[in-house]
Amino acid sequence: MGEKTGQTPTSLGQTLGKADFTQRPMSLRKFLEPFDHSSLTDAEAGDKYASYKASFAKQQLEDFFEKHKNLAW
């Protein structure tokens, strides 16, 4: 499990410092672009964005654990 640096991580803790969380959730403005703003209330928009962010965070965690499942915990 050598990395580009030539070092072999011996535990998950050593790789956490090098975690690749480069993907960020969309901004609220970007998220709302495809929606019909005339029929979407502020509360509905907030609920949809909160749901999107929760789903995004869940996917990030799943990806992280899948990527590191073979490392010593």
- CA end-to-end span of the chain: 14
Dihedral sign computed on CA atoms, order 64, 69, 70, 73: positive
In one-letter notation, the amino acid at residue 2 is G
| Dist CA 37 CA 60 (whole Å) | 29
pTM assigned to the model: 0.65
Give me the pLDDT at residue 2, please. Answer: 46
Mean pLDDT computed over 21-28:
86
Q: Cβ-count burial of 64 within 10 angstroms (0-12 exposed, 13-18 middle, 19+ buried)? A: middle
What is the distance of C-alpha 21 from the center of its chain? 7
**Between 8 and 31, residue with greater pLDDT:** 31
